[in-house]
């Protein structure tokens, strides 16, 4: 075989390559290549795995099925244990008798009559609340709980706050089961200047406080559904109701406050 001629530059490169490699290694930054560590060391220094939220333990409370709930409701209905918390019964023997017939047909034992009347009265005459309660207790004992209502006749008198407190104290004395205020407050009741009475008028603060002290529940109707402030036409989702009861519409800003103002009252 003939001899192979190797280029001179390749011989030089082969001679100096080990020196270049040693120089690069000796001068390389030590932080670029950390020393090798054993698997055990790596496992010991590794951060703990993130906690996995465990499912809540199953409830120990028994879960009643729909059939059981209906059976219980039917039993209550048969025993007249149901209570209607929202009734408006006119204080006449005929209306109360009609209400009792309806209550019996539905298994309702007790009705909360929110229209019990006011406790103010003329001298020598019973108040409307007193008359309503006596009628209910005499003709239909145990079937109705009467809530009292406030008389705003003397609103413009400087001592109305005290008069309001006296009214609820009289209601408690006569056996009122609670106090009911209708949506008239904030929407219909006006003072002698024609200004609407506000739900959160400071004049009423002593009365609310006294009701709490007496332990009398309060049922209050503030504002109405949002649609009752909407357009008074067929585009309103509650148009059928508004057409039949135009006085339920409060969309006239010249007569009624915005719904949000009523709801914000404290």
Are residues 255 and 179 both part of a single domain? Answer: no
Same domain for 128 and 257? no
Residue 139 lies in a domain: yes
Question: Are residues 95 and 205 located together in one domain of the fold?
Answer: yes
Are 186 and 262 contained in the same domain?
no
* Residues 168 and 232 occupy one common structural domain: no
pLDDT of residue 240: 96
**Is residue 203 pLDDT above 80, yes or no?**
yes
CATH number, domain of 143, equals 3.20.20.140
Report the domain count for the chain: 2
Both 215 and 97 in one domain: the answer is yes
pLDDT of residue 47: 52
Query: Residue 246 sits in which domain range?
Result: 226-266
Q: What is the mean pLDDT of the chain?
A: 85
**243 and 199 in one domain?**
no
Question: Residue 15 domain-assigned?
Answer: no
Do 128 and 246 share a domain, yes or no? no
pLDDT at 65: 83
Q: What is the mean pLDDT of residues 12-23?
A: 42
Residue 91 falls inside a structural domain: yes
124 and 177: one domain? yes
- Looking at the structure, do residues 84 and 167 belong to the same domain, yes or no? yes
- Secondary structure (DSSP) of the chain: -PPPPPPHHHHHHHHHHHHHHHHHHHHS-TTSSPPP--HHHHHHHSPPPPPPPPPPPPP-SPPPPHHHHHHHHHHHHHTT-EEEEEE---SSHHHHHHHHHHHHHHTEEEEEES----S---TTS--HHHHHHHHHHHHSTTSEEEEE----TTTTSTTHHHHHHHHHHHHHHHT--EEEE-THHHHT-B-TTSPBPPTT-GGGHHHHHHHHHHT--EEE--S--GGGGS-SSTTSTTHHHHHH-GGG----TTTS--HHHHHH--
Least confident range of 15-24, 108-117, 141-150, 201-210 = 15-24
For 156-202, the pLDDT digits (tens) are 999 999 999 999 999 999 999 999 999 999 999 999 999 999 999 99
């Amino acid at each position: 075989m003939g001899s192979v001629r190797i280029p001179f530059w390749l011989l030089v490169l082969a001679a100096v390559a080990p020196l270049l490699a040693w120089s690069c290694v000796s001068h390389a930054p030590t932080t670029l290549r950390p020393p090798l560590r054993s698997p055990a060391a790596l496992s010991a220094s590794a951060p703990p795995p993130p906690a996995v939220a465990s499912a809540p333990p199953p409830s120990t409370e028994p879960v009643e099925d729909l059939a059981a709930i209906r059976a219980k409701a039917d039993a209550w209905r048969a025993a007249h244990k149901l209570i209607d918390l929202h009734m408006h019964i006119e204080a006449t023997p005929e209306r109360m008798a009609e209400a009792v017939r309806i209550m019996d047909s539905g298994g309702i034992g007790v009705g909360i009559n929110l229209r019990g009347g006011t406790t103010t009265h003329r001298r020598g005459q019973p108040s409307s609340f007193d008359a309503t309660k006596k009628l209910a207790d005499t003709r239909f004992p145990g079937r109705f709980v009467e809530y009292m209502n406030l008389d705003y006749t003397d609103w413009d008198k400087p001592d109305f706050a005290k008069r309001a407190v006296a009214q609820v104290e009289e209601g408690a004395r006569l056996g009122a089961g609670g106090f009911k205020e209708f949506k008239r407050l904030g929407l219909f009741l006006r003072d002698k200047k024609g200004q609407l009475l506000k739900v959160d008028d400071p004049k009423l603060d002593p009365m609310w406080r006294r009701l709490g002290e007496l332990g009398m529940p309060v049922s209050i109707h503030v504002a109405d559904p949002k649609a009752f402030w909407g357009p008074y036409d067929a585009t309103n989702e509650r148009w059928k109701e508004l057409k039949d009861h135009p006085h339920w519409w409060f969309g006239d800003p010249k007569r009624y406050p915005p719904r949000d103002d009523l709801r914000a009252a404290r």
